[in-house]
Structure 1
Amino acid sequence: MSDAPTLLGMSESHTPLFSAEQLARASKAAGDSLRLSILKLLGQGSFGVLELCHVFGIKQSGMSHHLKVLAQAGLVTTRREGNSIFYRRPLAAGNDALNLWLKALFAAIDSTDALDNEAYRQALTEVLKERAQTCADFFARNADAFRQQQDLIASWDQYGETLESILSGWKGASGYALEVGPGEGAFLPALAQRFEQVVALDISPQMLEQARTTVAGKGLSNVRCELGDTQWLLAQQGEPVDFAVANMVLHHVPAPKTIFNDVAKLLRQGGTLLVTDLCRHEQSWARESCGDLWLGFDPDDLSDWAREAGLSEGQSQFLGLRNGFQIQFRLFHSA
């Protein structure tokens, strides 16, 4: 084997790992100030065309043109959620030259002052509030039928034992646990037995009342139910969390990536986040019947969000259900 140095972007056989034309097209696409801002926003999650039009205050035809340029350059990808198409940045998970360049490009874009003004922030807040309201309205109408709705996809009897076995095998501190979106509170007894304090956090008053009923019925004196989201909890500046759980809740969250970012800040050093959620699926009826905003997630999505939040990946398990759904159980740790 030759000891001659290898040129950047070239293999030892002098074959480009990606073409100069591809690089030039991607660089040109990202070089427009509006498209750069779009790419920064897409770093926060997936957005539909009309949502992007609202944030940036431009017509749909103009936004569609910019998205087409970015898509042709390989800087955005699309994903169908029911009848809607959402745009997102591609996962740059590999270590080949193209993915390394994409990582560097997105990191540079994320460090710019694009979107750093009140108009953008207000418009983005309105978009996320509309998503949250859609979900809140569903649970306000269906809180009393939550179990029947949930059982259409995955009942606690189908996966609860696996979830509890993961908790029993955890060897960390047993001080403070947090469950984001506890539903009816099926997992709260196991958490209450393992931890000195448990906070059940939910944005739906109706669902939180269901959790309170479980807490009272089981006599869980060390569980506190709080109305709010992870941003609200961060503002409380309470003690660090040893163990956080997001159990079958991410597919209801307006911007799932924010859960990873917020929980990473809430966790103490050595703390753990346990995420249980659906793998990516195409059963769009779940949006109408179960109030799902997202049709599950690719495992790489969760890995990528955790990595960007500064969490390291731990154990993973997958459970296939007879109705075609698959559940992923993922552990992420704070360094």
Structure 2
Amino acid sequence: MLQPRTAPLPTGQPFASSDLAALLKAAGDPLRLEILRLLARDSFGVMELSRIFDIKQSGMSHHLKVLSNAGLVASRREGNSIFYRRALPATDSPACALLTSLFATVDQAPLDESYQQQLKGVQQERAQASQAFFSDNATKFRAQQDLIASHQVYAEAVAELLANTPLAARRTALEIGPGEGEFLQVLSSAFSEVIALDNAASMLDKARVMAVTQGLGNIEFVHGDTADAVERGLQADCVVINMVLHHVPSPAHIFDHVRQLLRAGGALLVSELCHHQQQWAREACGDQWLGFEPEDLSHWAAQAGLTPGQSQYIALRNGFQIQVRQFFLSPTRQV
């Protein structure tokens, strides 16, 4: 779980002047404010941040240390790398109100355009790495995924959750990253139409073959990512994301897109790895992230305007743990 390096002050303890001064000093730098603005919705390593802001790594490390010591950013180890994002204000900390107000003020202005261009480059490199992996390993996808968790392990839990999910309608389901298409069979029988969305053409071809073999005639196959789906105006009553988020460049953006893809009263179902330290998964399975804490998914969903529902956690013999989550979009849809 991402946590500030400085522990929150105990409930009821006054905010010491020295702590307040450190926090205000940390936030009193234009570049550090831009860093906080960027880290609101995504996690980045030092090298990525140095590239985005065009400064030396030593300089970026200094800024991150200042922000971290003030409790403004949080860090998490991903194998041999450390990623940073903006800290979540602890509700029992005397600094909570100040941090919440500070972050809200920072977010009122967009990231500087020059930084946005560099950010796009970093995100494109992440996306290209993921696409290249799946293009090169489409024939080995099942075996590599089974190293962590077989499809059946999480598919049964998601199918059960789907059956018990109250939806305003069951016209259209959208699965993001359907893999070889196994779960499309479940969706095909539960909805009038199904959309299979994947940015790897080779994987989409395998899912299409499965659909033809199983005689599933109500599935539309779309080559693209969630941003493409939003641009095309796709809409669904239920969106399913099975073991995909740890492959994508920016999981938080997926939640933003899903909110736009869902119809009023719709639901998002997610199965995903809990955070782990098995570095080999990067090379063997093309993972960009070593799973996520449940709080990460809850935070991204809340930022996107989705409310939590049921959750289930599945422990595996190999030490991995899977979280199966449910989120809803209000019946009164606001985009």
Alignment TM-score, normalising by the size of structure 2 = 0.92
Paired residue for 2:171, among 171, 175, 189? 175
Q: 1:63 to 1:155 in 2, by over 3 A?
A: same
Distance 2:63 2:230 in 1: 36
Distance 2:216 2:247 in 1: 26
Paired residue for 1:233, among 224, 229, 236? 229
TM-superposed CA distance for 1:194, in Å, is 0.7
User: What one-letter code is carried by the residue in structure 2 that aligns with 1:148?
Assistant: A
Give runs of aligned pairs for residues 170-249 of structure 1, distance below 5 A. Answer: 170-172=165-167, 173-238=169-234, 240-249=235-244
Aligned length: 321
**Residue in 1 aligned with 2:94?**
97
Deviations 1:207-230 (A, max 9, x none): 111111111111111111111111
CA contact (8 A) 1:17 1:96 kept: no
Larger Rg: 1
**Residue in 1 aligned with 2:4?**
none
Matching of residue 21 in structure 1 with residue 18 in structure 2: yes
Distance 1:289 1:281 in 2: 15
Distance 2:173 2:206 in 1: 19
User: What one-letter code is carried by the residue in structure 1 that aligns with 2:263?
Assistant: R
TM-superposed CA distance for 1:95, in Å, is 5.1
CA contact (8 A) 2:255 2:301 kept: yes
TM-superposed CA distance for 1:306, in Å, is 0.5
**Residue in 1 aligned with 2:3?**
none
SS of equivalent to 2:120: helix
**Residue in 1 aligned with 2:323?**
328
SS of equivalent to 2:238: strand
TM-superposed CA distance for 1:20, in Å, is 2.7
**Residue in 1 aligned with 2:272?**
277
CA contact (8 A) 2:138 2:203 kept: yes
> Any gaps of 5 or more consecutive residues in structure 1?
1-8
SS of equivalent to 1:162: helix
> Any gaps of 5 or more consecutive residues in structure 2?
1-8, 331-335
Paired residue for 1:162, among 144, 157, 160? 157
Distance 2:174 2:76 in 1: 31
SS of equivalent to 1:86: strand
Moved more, 121-130 or 16-25: 16-25
Distance 2:179 2:18 in 1: 51
SS of equivalent to 2:95: helix
SS of equivalent to 1:187: helix
Q: 1:298 to 1:207 in 2, by over 3 A?
A: same
CA contact (8 A) 1:91 1:301 kept: no
Deviations 1:60-117 (A, max 9, x none): 121111111111111112111122111111223535433333222222211123x241
Alignment TM-score, normalising by the size of structure 1 = 0.92
Matching of residue 124 in structure 1 with residue 151 in structure 2: no
TM-superposed CA distance for 1:17, in Å, is 4.2
Paired residue for 1:250, among 245, 249, 252? 245
Matching of residue 264 in structure 1 with residue 259 in structure 2: yes
TM-superposed CA distance for 1:171, in Å, is 2.5
Distance 2:188 2:178 in 1: 13
SS of equivalent to 1:193: helix
CA contact (8 A) 1:252 1:292 kept: yes
Moved more, 322-331 or 74-83: 74-83
Deviations 1:149-170 (A, max 9, x none): 0000000122221111111112
Q: 1:21 to 1:317 in 2, by over 3 A?
A: same
